[in-house]
Amino acid sequence: MTDTKAIVHGTVIDGTGAEPIEDGTVIIEEGRIAEVGRSAEIEVPSEAQVIEAAGKSVMPGMMEAHAHVGGDHRAQRVLRLSLQRGITTVCSVSAGASGCALRDAIESGEVRGCARLIAGCVVCCTNGHVRGRDADGPWEVRKGVREMVEAGADFIKTCASGGFWAEDERCSMRNYTPEELEALADEAHAWDRPVVVHAHTQPGINNAIAAGIDQIHHGAFIDEEGVAGIAEKGLYYVPTLRVTCTKNIQAHSSRPWMIEEMTQSQPIHRAGVRKARELGVKIAVGTDYPSAPSAWRIGDATPWEWIELVEAGLTPMETLVAGTRNVAEAYGKLDELGTLEAGKRADVIVVEGNPLEDVGCLYEPDNILVVLKDGRVESTREDYKEHYRVREEL
């Protein structure tokens, strides 16, 4: 079968923020986008496999900027279901060495049918919010970063504050000191690796900004000073609003300490996102994925975050860019991923509905009609239905 494909007559939303092409065509050759434009102006190659998209939306695959996916069989299942939901790239902040190996297996084609994995490794303080390579003091931190780079990390993740999860911690607890954060950021950048930080509150947020961290994640109790600092330094903010949404709070009824802090943070978190938009902060979509199975199917969290961002004041177009182009740029992958532009890897989804009118259409699995990754049709709506039919019968 030919490697050339033509997705024709759809409403093409390229992810750059440009106006959609109402009757557009995307030509794919050898796994990459060859041409994007108006159908009337593009000649479809005679050998192309044609995917009819009239009345549908054609857009980049969704990207997830903050997931927790390792490298075992469960990780493969998460990545397969993610791909079927139209999430073509997952950035795992805690992939570890096994996740790096899985990333390579997916990239080589040894493991098929999975979302692309961008693998992060954790360097954190003893007794910190997350677990990974424990390291205390600037020189030990530098050694920890070097070890994680040697293990294959695409980026480094760390913590500047506590979190919601443990009964004996609070978001306001400081994790790394300013000196440790500065050493971590400097060492990671010396090896050309971006750094993301878990930071809910002050002083952690300001400490991370001053240290030169590239992405601030969460910010459930972020203040105006923190938002202004992110804007001034041109950093990326990944708010993960889904974490503090009512649906997620209700999923943790057995953890009252979580409910208390998450409920307190809910309005502050959303006010922070509104302020970030006002100041022109670069926002990217991440969710702490995949989350509690009692409330969330695998694949739910990412499109739910799109809904939360619109409710917090972003336009649908701003949200679409945040969930595609911005994630790619934040992780240094924009030359390959994130938009439908000639030369880029052909990660494309065909959607029932128009996300520029209602981003909620992406939340319903039935609306994800076709998923292509690297130009290969990896999933259709029927594939997803069959997976869950079989799973329910087992």
pLDDT of residue 385: 65
Instruction: Choose the final residue of a domain: 309, 330, 351.
Output: 330
Residue 1 pLDDT greater than 80, yes or no: no
Is residue 305 located within the same domain as residue 382? Answer: no
Instruction: Choose the final residue of a domain: 330, 351, 376.
Output: 330
pLDDT above 70 coverage of the chain, percent: 97
Give domain status of residue 364, yes or no.
Answer: yes
Give domain status of residue 346, yes or no.
Answer: yes
Instruction: Choose the final residue of a domain: 310, 330, 350.
Output: 330
Give domain status of residue 68, yes or no.
Answer: yes
The CATH number of the domain where 106 resides is what? 3.20.20.140
Using an 8 Å Cβ cutoff, are 221 and 201 in contact?
yes
Is residue 54 located within the same domain as residue 67? Answer: no
Is residue 92 located within the same domain as residue 211? Answer: yes
Is residue 352 located within the same domain as residue 309? Answer: no
Is residue 223 located within the same domain as residue 164? Answer: yes
Instruction: Work out the pLDDT band at 14, boundaries 50, 70, 90.
Output: very high
Task: Report pLDDT digits (tens) over 144-199.
Answer: 999 999 999 999 999 999 999 999 999 999 999 999 999 999 999 999 999 999 99
CA-CA distance, 332 to 264, in Å (whole number)? 34
Q: Which domain holds residue 237?
A: 62-330
Is residue 317 located within the same domain as residue 364? Answer: no
Is residue 43 located within the same domain as residue 172? Answer: no
Residue 392 pLDDT greater than 70, yes or no: no
Question: From start to end of the chain, where are the E strands?
Answer: 5-12, 21-29, 32-38, 49-52, 57-60, 62-67, 87-92, 116-124, 133-134, 155-159, 195-199, 215-218, 236-238, 282-283, 348-351, 368-373, 376-380
Give domain status of residue 335, yes or no.
Answer: no
The CATH number of the domain where 53 resides is what? 2.30.40.10
Token couple for 345: 């890897």
The DSSP result for 242-264, as a single string, is GGGSHHHHHTTTT-HHHHHHHHH
Alpha carbon distances (Å) from 36 to 88, 116, 194, 348: 19, 23, 31, 12
Is residue 347 located within the same domain as residue 362? Answer: yes
Task: Report pLDDT digits (tens) over 190-235.
Answer: 999 999 999 999 999 999 999 999 999 999 999 999 999 999 999 9
Instruction: Work out the pLDDT band at 382, boundaries 50, 70, 90.
Output: confident
Give domain status of residue 319, yes or no.
Answer: yes
pLDDT of residue 393: 40
Using CB atoms within 10 A of its CB, is residue 134 exposed (0-12), middle (13-18) or buried (19+)? middle
Give domain status of residue 226, yes or no.
Answer: yes
pLDDT of residue 261: 98
pLDDT, mean over the chain? 96
| Longest alpha-carbon distance in the chain | 65
Residue 384 pLDDT greater than 80, yes or no: no
Give domain status of residue 360, yes or no.
Answer: yes
Give domain status of residue 184, yes or no.
Answer: yes
Is residue 178 located within the same domain as residue 229? Answer: yes
Residues in Cβ contact with 8 at an 8 Å cutoff, skipping those fewer than 6 apart: 25, 39, 44, 50, 51, 52, 53, 54
Is residue 96 located within the same domain as residue 24? Answer: no
Cα 10 to the center of its chain, rounded Å: 25
pLDDT of residue 394: 35
Overall number of domains in the chain: 2
Is residue 71 located within the same domain as residue 46? Answer: no
Task: Report pLDDT digits (tens) over 245-294.
Answer: 999 999 999 999 999 999 999 999 999 999 999 999 999 999 999 988 99
Is residue 189 located within the same domain as residue 324? Answer: yes
